[in-house]
Amino acid sequence: MSLGPAMVGLSGLTLSQEEREMLQHPRVGAVILFSRNFHDIEQAQQLIEAIHQVRQPRLLVAVDHEGGRVQRFRDGFTSLPPARCFGRLYDQDRRRGKRLAEHAGWLMAAELRALGVDFSFAPVLDLDHGVSDVIGDRAFHRQPQAVADLARSYISGMNRAGMAATGKHFPGHGAVEVDTHHGIARDPRAYADIEQADLVPFQRLVDDGLAGIMPAHVIYPQVDERPAGFSPFWLQEVLRQRLGFQGAIFSDDLLMEGAALAGSVADRAEAAMAAGCDMVLVCNDFNAVCDTLDHLARFDRPVSHLRLARMHGRHAVQRDKLRNDPHWQQAVAAIGQCEQDKALDLL
């Protein structure tokens, strides 16, 4: 059975019988975990093992684990700084900033791979235009070249730990004030302005072989009246053709308010897939998942199966050996220094 086009969320710390049956549906291809699914390392490992045992090839397991405000697992994991920390250091010492970003990417990925997670939705490639609280310090920097440099190093670390990267939120979420979790966001800029700034990190990392991209639920009315994640222009014309992206496209969560203009959750899923997504996320509503799955039957694309299969984690990491790894110890020490520097900046 190939990986289906739906990524779904779970309700708690263990798999219910209803969820187990849901994961056996051929249109399901992945599970996304949240803080509600994590109590401690042992419990999380058991949950992920149960997910992996549902079927073959095993379902992808993903999480949002960027660091800073967005780190779903805490107990037993290194506390990671927000991406802005690396941007500040980059302004002082470019080589050190990039080196620390690589340490952070490796550390994040290695600790998750040791738990059995395939990939994290990271890094954020948005520019910090100074207006978006939901992005804010999740962005590496304001300048596109700096974002591209730091993200390239971060992804290099992820890849060395056996994890593929997913850049977000294409073509750029940093210039809108509205949080798309809670409202409809519109970016009034012309395409040329976006192309010269926000698209730059995406283009440069696509050229480096970026494995995954998540589009924003943001509308760019001078370009298309549909949010980017539902726009064939953004996903097929720009991302696939102009930028030459060959990896997997993941929708953002279809239950977010920024996706509401596309209709019911099932309508949103169909629209996102028709626009060019390879996988759609329905994270927080079991009934919405069940209503959506049968609407995805016509999106059985062999090329999507291949793209998604490449998101599986590589070379398993044994957690009991990780903390004795000199690389882990070096990365933790480097991240700790970054946190100390950030604290001094706040004094």
Q: Between helices 326-346 and 94-113, what is the axis angle to 10°?
A: 120
Q: How confident is the model at residue 347 (pLDDT cuts 50, 70, 90)?
A: very low
- CA distances in angstroms from 131 to 119, 195, 200, 229, 338, listed in the order given: 29, 19, 19, 21, 25
Residues 6+ apart with CB under 8 A from 241: none
Of the spans 178-187, 215-224, 290-299, 338-347, which averages the highest pLDDT?
Answer: 215-224
* pLDDT at res. 341: 62
Q: What is the pLDDT of residue 340?
A: 65
Q: Distances from the Cα of 310 to the Cαs of 98, 153, 204, 224, 289, in angstroms?
A: 26, 20, 20, 31, 24
* Structural domains in the chain plus CATH codes: 6-346 (3.20.20.300)
DSSP assigned state of 317: -
Report the Cα–Cα distance between both ends of the chain, in Å, rounded. Answer: 56
Q: How many CB atoms lie within 10 A of CB 345?
A: 9
Between the alpha carbon of residue 113 and those of residues 73, 82, 267, the distances in Å are 13, 20, 34
Quote the Cα angle for 66-67-71, to 5°: 80
Whether the pLDDT of residue 264 is over 70: the answer is yes
- pLDDT score, position 46: 97
Percentage of the chain exceeding pLDDT 70: 97
Burial 74-111, CB ≥16 within 10 A → b, else e: eeebbebbbbbbbbbbbeeeeeebbbbbbbbbbbbbbb
Between 317 and 82, name the one with better pLDDT: 82
- The residue behind tokens 């379902």 is 59
- The confidence band for 261, taking pLDDT boundaries of 50, 70 and 90, is confident
Q: What is the DSSP letter of 70?
A: E
Average pLDDT, the chain: 93
What are 85-131's pLDDT values in tens digits?
999 999 999 999 999 999 999 999 999 999 999 999 999 999 999 99
Span 178-202, average pLDDT: 95
Q: What is the pLDDT of residues 218-259, one digit of tens each?
A: 999 999 999 999 999 999 999 999 999 999 999 999 999 889
What pLDDT score does 342 carry?
59
Question: What does the pLDDT look like over 15-38, one tens digit per residue?
Answer: 999 999 999 999 999 999 999 999
pLDDT level of residue 312 (50, 70, 90 thresholds): very high
Q: How high is the pLDDT of residue 16?
A: 95
Predicted confidence (pLDDT) at residue 63 exceeds the cutoff of 90: yes
- pLDDT for 344 equals 44
Q: Which residues fall within 8 angstroms of residue 74, CB to CB, at 6 or more apart? A: 35, 38
Q: Which of 110, 103, 99, 151 is nearest to 127 (CA)?
A: 151
How many other C-beta atoms are found inside a 10 Å radius of the C-beta of residue 55? 15
| Range from 46-60, 144-158, 255-269, 324-338 carrying the lowest mean pLDDT | 324-338
Cite the active site residues.
181, 252
Cα–Cα distance measured from residue 55 to residue 302, given in angstroms and rounded to the nearest whole number: 19
